[in-house]
Amino acid sequence: MNAFSETVDRAKGLAILLVLLGHIASPLGDVIYSFHVPLFFFLAGLFIKTSHSDKSYLTKGAERLILPFLIFGTLGFLATLIKNIALHRPIEPLMESLAGLLYWVDPMHMHHYGLVLWFLPALFWGRTVVFMLAKHIRLHPLLFVILTLIVASLVHYTELPLGLDKGLVALPWICLGYLFYIYRERWLSANWYWVVCLALLCCLLVYTGGVRPLDLGTKNLGNPLFSFPYTVSLILIIFWLLHRGGALPFFSGNRLMGVMSQFGRDSLLVLVLHIYTNNMADILVNRALGSGYWYATFALSASLVYTAILLKRRYATSLIFKYL
């Protein structure tokens, strides 16, 4: 269990670093956007516990996801407002800003630093639906996956308030994470399954001529017949490699692996802060080196966020880190 938890932390660390890098203009953008958010939803589904009561699950989910969204989404709006006033830029009407933050809850309507937080309400809805289905209906695993795929495909064409549509679109990956955890020992002990995933992944890439961007924030699923098996295959390969690699002395004691795990354990802190650190890093790098040094921007932004992680470790009881 400790080895599995460490694998999850590393996978979350990789996923949040890809989010950070994905929001920087880099040549890796198409590859990152093809799977990094589904990876996060998959990881979020791993620890859905149907042993909780409905009330307890909803309450804890709201405290961990909705409350931070409201707090840091509001701060993101205020930060953008102050910046626009200071730089004499146009200011979005207040009612439109509030509607984006409190009603639509998606990147298309939130024109401020809080837009990256759309993931939190979507995760709340997606995890809640999977929890309810798993606890009260108990479908066969295959039917469970098919049902979530059907729902995601239908919701893809609709627009629902409160981020509900993004949560429903994310259902297949959350469902997969939930089922993977149940059968984790069987899958992780088999050497053949990652070979099958790798073969499927290669066939899909050859057939389609390369990766295709996938943006769950705007519900851009591309062709689901490609995007779902592609992301699933890649996610399972990544998880298997991280799990098997963790058993090797080089990786288990590697400082970089430890840092990745820290990023994973504090992924919410990174999610909230990275859009600010990205902006600061971009300004500093452009002034010092010029444009095009995306890797320097990434390194500087990641270093700034890691400093915040270390501060949280030291002042974990501080009010400023209470909801992170």
Read off the pLDDT of residues 37-96 as tens digits, 9 standing for 90 and up: 999 999 999 989 999 999 999 999 999 999 999 999 999 999 999 999 999 999 988 889
As a whole number of angstroms, the distance between CA 309 and CA 255 comes to: 15
Q: Residue written as tokens 């405290």?
A: 63
Give the pLDDT confidence of 117-156 residue by residue, as tens digits. 999 999 999 999 999 999 999 899 999 999 999 999 889 8
Q: Count of residues for the chain? A: 324
Confidence of residue 247 (pLDDT cuts 50, 70, 90): low
User: Residue 249's pLDDT is what?
Assistant: 55
Predicted local distance difference test score (pLDDT) of residue 246: 62
pLDDT at 324: 84
| Residue 255 CB neighbour total at 10 angstroms | 7
Distant-in-sequence contacts of 147-155, Cβ < 8 A, 24+ apart: 148/172, 148/174, 148/175, 149/224, 149/228, 152/221, 152/224, 153/221, 153/224, 155/219
- Paired residues of 220 in beta bridges: 215
pLDDT confidence of residue 72: 96
Average of per-residue pLDDT across 244-268: 79
Q: What local confidence, expressed as pLDDT, does residue 138 receive?
A: 84
pTM: 0.94
Q: Tell whether the torsion through CA atoms of 132, 236, 38 and 309 is positive or negative.
A: positive
Q: What is the pLDDT of residues 5-31, one digit of tens each?
A: 999 999 999 999 999 999 998 899 889
Of 271, 268, 212, 256, whose CA–CA distance to 23 is shortest?
271
- Asked whether the beta carbons of 62 and 69 are under 8 A apart, the reply is no
